[in-house]
Structure 1
Amino acid sequence: MHPRFPDHKHFDAVSRRGFCRLPFAAAASSLLPGLALAQGSEVALAGLAYSGDAASLSQRFPFSTAYEKALKAGGKPAHAMLREAIAQAPAGKLKLVTQIDELKGRDQAVAVALVVGAETVSVEQLAGLHKLFVLIRAQALFFDFKSMSVIRAYPISFGHIDIFDRRPTDAEVAVRVRGVYEGAAGKPGIFTRFATTLAGASLPAATSRTLQITRVTIKPEATGSIPEYLRSASTVTETWAADLVGEALSTRAGVPIVPYAKGYAVGNVMSMRISDGDVYNLKLPKPDYEIGVELSALRKVKYGGAAAGESFIYGSYASLRIEEPLSGKVYMNTALKNGEVKLVPSTQTYVDDFPAFYDSVNGLFVKLAEAIDGRDAKWVKAAAAAPDIDKQINDTRELFKLCK
């Protein structure tokens, strides 16, 4: 690892404030008794799962599946890791049981799984250094295993960057992948984030509506600043952006998001394989409301300079549209901009722009979600192009209440 670049380690793929949050529980049908569901229903823990064709899991998730096998060989499988994380989580609204079998024969049979949707592991060589990037994108996915349909989902992700003065070995990569799942540098990993998400999750009432990001556009002025490992295919870039927006809305405004179909499903059917070998083909609900996202540009501008170093503003430009397709009613339609300042010491010879651009894009959607949630709205008034942004924020807040 190169000692001159400590600020490039531990890139949080959820928020600049720290890795996302989440936890799971101990054992038996009394697991997390404080998690009481609406109508006294229970939710079964299905465990760890992977989305997509089961036959290609080892090609699409080589490090995650190897990590899962290592856990099992060590006597503490992924299911146990999830239960342990949940046991440390605050009490929430749901009552969880440990196995799907416990709900068989009941009228309502809802399960939740940690569904890994994408594993990105990339090594870039820059200025004689090797940058290792690890990103896991997942979802806390609730589904009815009788009707085989998705009920709701909460996006989760965690990214990690390390700099080496040589190419990292597979063993070193495996250590970083383990840190993404279990936590690194004092930040909670995917397991803990899943558990924390469950603590704040709820099942929809009969009248609840659904939200889905259905359109993602990345303009050329933005694509050039996104690393190759996130633009190896258009669907990879679009899914990354959809997950980023969905996670900001889910974690900050508390609204569930139907999985982005282009990245996770074929024909609106999402396939997933649970770690115990069961394969499920789940129907995605048709959303009541659709979200369109455009990432228009990413720009770096020098802000200041001195003998000690220089500062730059990393600007992101995007637009968001939320509408009801049947009626054509538009709740939000505005362009947005956000800038984050990065200080570069004069002694630093290599600058990786992407973490700063990520902070800028992520910050844009996090701040927007917080404004919709009723928190500080000063930023959105200055950042939004729409003259009626106050009305759009209020309309969207009321809409989100229908989706919770």
Structure 2
Amino acid sequence: MFVLAVLFAIVMPRPCAAASAATPENIYFAGVAYSADAADVAKEFPHLSKVLDSQVNASLSALVRERLQGQASAPKLIFDQLGSIKDASHSTALALAIDGEVTSIIKIGDLYKTRLEISAQLLFFDFKEKQVLGAFPIILDYIDTGAQPPDGAKLDALYRAMLLGSGGRGSLADEFVKTLAGATVPAPSSRHLRVTSVDFEPKAIAYLQQSAPNADVATVSRQVAREFGKYLSTNQNLAILPFASSQALGGSMAARFVEGDAYQLKIPEADYGITIKVSGFKKLEQGRTATSIGYIYGAFVDLAVTEPLSGRTYFAQQIRQGANQTVPVTQSSTEDWANAYDTLRLLFNNFTMAISDPRSGWVKTSMPDSSNAKNQMTSLQGLVQSCR
């Protein structure tokens, strides 16, 4: 088994010189990994750890290889050999690191709605220096309904289909290749961004516990961090550092490869840290007709971007987002947490797109209408550009 432990080293931030290195000539595909301590894999990935055996791993790698043949714009990956740690120009590797598995089954009327999610990242690292270079997060969703809830065997089969594709659906391999086609390989000199903390304020926790009593706040916080990272990376074509729930010195993120040798990788300190405080959610009835009821869901977040070394704050604002949802009057219950969470994701998507357009209409309606907020968005735009 290939075990890759990724440790947060006690490393001072480097001088913030923008990346200028050219794309490495050779990038070696290092395989598939779980971002968890080896002892915790079965607990954190109850279905994927059963599905992703050596045969499926080989099929997933082969599918990635096949899909890449039609992607001339993607960085070239070498599958059949590893580079030399004696040659820095042949030491950049790329792993498909799986860091989340989420299964949700809820009953709505007479039907059961199943929602599955796999979160992963394109994890670039230098195996000569044993250091993470940056990551591009990806998230794959599956939603289905049925008269009966799926059993364990059915869920295993659905997760396998998400990895390899089935019935015309996209696969994790497809998402990997699509993300890689638009990715820029991070250089060691790149400035680094990372989500450093996600906190739920009391009002947000109360809403979560009421609408999803079985949800774990810590687990949802990790999901929120990955969602924000995905949108920031996708909308700004930006590699970021992996999120960890503990940022104290000695905190760690481990990754376990399915096959191969073992490495110890350092993760450099983030040049800029992103803190997210989910302050609350709202649900309001907007209107009703003889056949339907309209609701508006609101999500509220305090978001800050700071430079730990200097203490400088580049961005610190309250952000809000609303989203409409219409349901039939015959529907006895609504998916309040799913709708609120989708509204939060919409907020992240709109905010990370607005970084490229600080004067957009969305900024005017979703953030305080002040010169300070506009100036901070412009400052954040420049910061993100310097991290590419």
Q: Find the counterpart in structure 1 of residue 7 from structure 2.
A: none
The corresponding residue for 2:256 is: 273
* Matched residue type, 2:324: V
Q: Check conservation: 1:219, 1:296, Cα contact below 8 A.
A: yes
Q: How far off its partner does 1:102 sit? A: 4.1
Asked whether the 8 Å contact 1:270–1:283 carries over to 2, the reply is no
Using the alignment, how far apart are the partners of 1:354 and 1:90 within structure 2? 41
State whether structure 2 residue 94 is matched by structure 1 residue 84.
no
The answer as to 2:120 corresponding to 1:138 is: yes
Contact 1:54 1:279 in 2 (8 A): no
Aligned with 1:190 (options 172, 180, 197): 172
1:175-218 Cα offsets, whole Å, 9 max, x none, are 32134324578553322111111111112345421111112111
2: CA distance, partners of 1:188 / 1:83: 16
Distance in 2 of aligned mates of 1:229 and 1:193: 32
Matched residue type, 2:193: L
Report the AA paired with residue 212 of structure 1.
Answer: R
State which of 367, 376, 379 in structure 2 corresponds to 1:395.
Answer: 379
Aligned partners of 1:381 and 1:389 also within 8 Å: no
Query: Residues 236 and 263 of structure 1 are in contact (CA less than 8 Å); yes or no, is this contact kept in structure 2?
Result: no
Q: Which of residues 32, 50, 55 in structure 1 aligns to 2:39?
A: 55
The answer for the alignment partner of 2:230 in structure 1 is: 247
Shift of 1:90: 5.4
In the alignment, the residues of structure 2 paired with residue 196 and residue 168 of structure 1 have an alpha-carbon distance, to the nearest angstrom, of 30
Give 1:166's aligned amino acid.
Q
| 1:173 maps to amino acid | L
1:366 and 2:367 aligned? no
Please give the TM-score of this superposition, normalised by the length of structure 2. Answer: 0.85
Count of residue pairs the alignment pairs up: 364
**CA-to-aligned-CA distance 1:9-41 (integer Å, 9 cap, x gap):** xxxxxxxxxxxxxxxxxxxxxxxxxxxx82543
Contact 2:358–2:381 (Cα < 8 Å) also in 1:
no
1:134-159 deviations in whole A, cap 9, x for unaligned?
Answer: 22111111111122211101111122
Assess, with a 3 A threshold, how the Cα gap between structure 1 residues 186 and 352 changes in structure 2: closer, same or farther.
farther
Distance 1:251 1:90, change over 3 A: farther
Q: Describe the SS at the equivalent of 2:295.
A: strand
Contact 1:291 1:323 in 2 (8 A): yes
SS at match of 1:171: helix
Q: Is the 8 A contact 1:268 1:283 kept in 2?
A: no
One-letter code aligned to 2:30: A
SS in 1 for 2:293: strand
Deviation at 1:167, TM superposition (A): 2.9
Matching residue of 1:121: 103
Residues 269 and 281 in structure 1, CA contact (< 8 A), matched pair in contact too? no
Residues of 1 paired with 2:203 and 2:70: CA distance? 44
Structure 1 equivalent of residue 77 of structure 2: 96
Which of the residues 131, 136, 149 maps onto 1:154? Answer: 136
Q: Does 1:68 align with 2:52?
A: yes
Q: Please report how far the alpha carbon of residue 279 of structure 1 lies from its aligned counterpart in structure 2 after TM superposition.
A: 3.4
Task: For CA contacts below 8 A with separation 6 or more, give which structure has more relative contact order.
Answer: 2
Q: Give the structure-1-normalised TM-score.
A: 0.82
Given that 2:85 and 2:127 are in contact with CA atoms closer than 8 Å, whether structure 1 keeps it comes out as no
Please list, as runs of the form range in 1=range in 2, the aligned pairs for 1:222-371 lying within 5 A after superposition.
222-226=204-208, 228=212, 231-232=215-216, 234-262=217-245, 267-371=250-354
User: Which deviates the most, 283-292 or 341-350?
Assistant: 341-350
Q: Any idea what the Cα deviations from partners look like across 1:68-115, whole Å, max 9, x if unmatched?
A: 22x717x952211221233344513x2321145245542241111110
- Shifted more, 183-192 versus 78-87: the winner is 183-192
**Structure 2 residue 147 is the aligned partner of structure 1 residue 178:** no
Q: Secondary structure at the match of 1:121?
A: strand
Mapped contact 1:230–1:236 kept (Cα < 8 A)? no
What is the DSSP-based 3-state SS (H/G/I as helix, E as strand, rest coil) of the residue aligned with 1:83? helix
Which is worse superposed, 339-348 or 243-252?
A: 339-348
Q: Which moved more, 1:311-320 or 1:125-134?
A: 125-134
Is 1:218 paired with 2:218?
no
Instruction: Confirm whether residue 42 of structure 1 aligns to residue 26 of structure 2.
Output: yes
Structure 2 stretches lacking a partner, 5+ long = 1-20
Deviation at 1:229, TM superposition (A): 8.5
The aligned residue for residue 3 of structure 2 is none
Contact 2:124 2:186 in 1 (8 A): no
Equivalent residue for 1:208? 190
Alpha-carbon offset, residue 262 of structure 1: 1.6
Change (3 A) 1:334 1:184: farther
SS of aligned partner of 1:360:
helix
- Whole-angstrom distance in 2 between the partners of 1:185 and 1:383: 39
Q: What SS is found at the alignment partner of 1:101?
A: coil
Distance 1:366 1:186, change over 3 A: farther
What amino acid is the match of 2:175?
R
| Aligned counterparts of 2:109 and 2:331: Cα–Cα separation in 1 | 12
Letter in 2 for 1:400: V
Task: Summarize deviations over 1:253-283 as a string: whole Å, max 9, x none.
Answer: 1222211122799824432222214333322
Distance 1:125 1:341, change over 3 A: closer
